[in-house]
Amino acid sequence: MSAETTSQTKNAASAPTSLTGRLRLIGPGIVLALASVGASDMITTMNSGAEYGLALIWVFTVGIILKFVLSEAVSRLQMSGDRSLISHLTRFGGRTFPVLFLIAELLVGLFFGAGVVAVTTTILQSIFPVLPFWPTAIVVLVSAAVLVGIGRYGIVEKAMMGFGIIMFFGILALAISVFQGQDAQEVAAATIMPTFPNTSIITVMSLIGGVGGATGILAYSFWIREKAWRTPDWKPVVRLDLFISYGLVFVFAVAMSAVGAFILYGQGFTISDNDALFAIADDLVGRIGETGRLVFLISFLAVVYTSVLGGFSGIAYVTADCLRVLRRYPHQDEPANEMSAKSIEFRGVLIYLSVATVVIMSLGKPVTLVLVYAAISAFILPVLALALLVILNRSSVPTQLRNTKWSNVLLTVCLALFGFLAALQVKESVMGLVG
């Protein structure tokens, strides 16, 4: 066993028991929250506010609770033995899960960077119009790749916490500012009661699945390993960390719904893409001045850039570990083969992400690959829920980390809901391919 591993094991044996001690250690949950929300989540939440006011906050709440359940179960599996999540999953199907997740993550990585780097660059150009697109995009891309590629998770965590403070205070300030008008207060009073959309149950289920990302949930297990939270006595720390994480996601969803409701409710306006978000920024000038526009754009920038950092980190960890397990199986758990952010697999994935970002930004998104990517990646959460239901009920898992009755119920709900959404996505992708 290496000196680093020995040190981590030693640290993992001394989890704090006081609330203050636990609060001092939170961090992976913040990274998860910031990595899990992006421009698409801003569009989803603001659209719900524009169409239904505050009446669909309950929908986001359900989705956030279910993703908390998945993340908490992933962390329990991680702490059930000193091995990575992907290695744990080989206990249920051998190489099957590493292969499936590798394919999904390679497809995610192919398109992820192009979207978030392009949006980040466009926001910077909106704030500083003199900036040229491609040089700025390259700087954004290189900064993210270097921060993640240094190989120290703590650097990424600190950087994301800094941007996270800007993001959440900016969004809250914006929501409070747009609430000041009489019209906004009337909208809040008229739409505060929960309702069910008059369109279809598919709308509700899609909104439930819309806030928070699948790769972030997988990557959370690697981030807590980097913090040496590796044994069952760290479970209270992880739960507090995740509670704060999804609390922040909830605040984000409510605040953006409120902004959409107070600015757009009753106007029949739909936010269909990122350009519409920039239009809203311009609209804010007339409502709360140029300062309001800058607060929105800076908050938007923080949302998207933290998605770049967290996404690169999460995709690199998950993909690299899939490669490691497949290369070393069944000896992947030997100390010499332990997962490392300084490994050739991790650095190789970062190079892949960087090259894919530039290529896809240059060529545009190939429609066929996008549809295949959407269909395959949609199955990450239901497949994960199924594996957690099977593995965490086994007697080989420490008693305090096994599923309880309620864990089994909620994971079954996750399996059914996210499985249904995956089936819908496959149907949509097939229709796109044949149509």
* Domain that includes residue 59, residue range: 27-434
Amino acid identity of residue 43, one-letter, is I
Confirm whether 392 is domain-assigned.
yes
Which of 252, 264, 299 minimizes the C-alpha distance to 127? 299
Confirm whether 183 is domain-assigned.
yes
Instruction: Enter the pTM of the model.
Output: 0.90
User: Which two structure tokens, joined as six digits, stand for 282?
Assistant: 């311009």
261 Cβ partners below 8 Å, 6+ apart? 49, 50, 52, 53, 54, 184, 187, 188, 191
Which of 90, 80, 101, 99 minimizes the C-alpha distance to 332? 90
Phi-psi region of 82 (alpha: psi -120 to 50; beta: other; left: phi over 0): beta
Confirm whether 163 is domain-assigned.
yes
CA 208 from chain centre, in angstroms, equals 14
What integer pLDDT is reported at residue 397 of this predicted model?
93
Confirm whether 292 is domain-assigned.
yes
392 phi and psi, to 5 degrees?
Answer: -80, 5
Q: Are 48 and 207 in contact (CB under 8 A)?
A: yes
What integer pLDDT is reported at residue 301 of this predicted model?
93
Confirm whether 261 is domain-assigned.
yes
What is the distance between the alpha carbons of residues 21 and 30, in angstroms, rounded to a whole number? Answer: 17
What is the distance between the alpha carbons of residues 43 and 20, in angstroms, rounded to a whole number? Answer: 36
What integer pLDDT is reported at residue 3 of this predicted model?
40
Q: Are 257 and 54 in contact (CB under 8 A)?
A: yes
What integer pLDDT is reported at residue 10 of this predicted model?
42
Confirm whether 22 is domain-assigned.
no
Q: Are 78 and 221 in contact (CB under 8 A)?
A: yes
Which of 419, 422, 431 minimizes the C-alpha distance to 386? 419
Which CATH number covers residue 66? Answer: 1.10.4160.10
What integer pLDDT is reported at residue 43 of this predicted model?
81
Confirm whether 377 is domain-assigned.
yes
Confirm whether 222 is domain-assigned.
yes
Q: How many domains does the chain have?
A: 1
Q: Are 26 and 223 in contact (CB under 8 A)?
A: no
Note down pLDDT in tens along the chain; length 435 residues: 344 444 444 444 589 999 999 999 999 999 999 998 887 888 888 888 888 889 889 988 998 999 999 999 999 999 998 889 999 999 888 898 899 899 989 988 988 888 889 989 999 999 999 999 999 999 999 999 999 999 789 999 999 999 989 988 888 888 888 877 667 778 888 888 888 776 666 667 667 766 557 889 999 999 999 999 999 999 999 999 999 999 999 999 899 888 888 887 867 666 666 677 777 777 776 677 788 888 889 998 999 999 999 999 999 999 999 999 999 998 898 888 888 899 999 999 999 999 999 999 998 766 676 677 677 778 889 989 999 999 999 999 999 999 999 999 999 999 999 998 888 888 887 887 776
Between the alpha carbon of residue 86 and those of residues 65, 77, 112, 231, the distances in Å are 24, 10, 21, 17
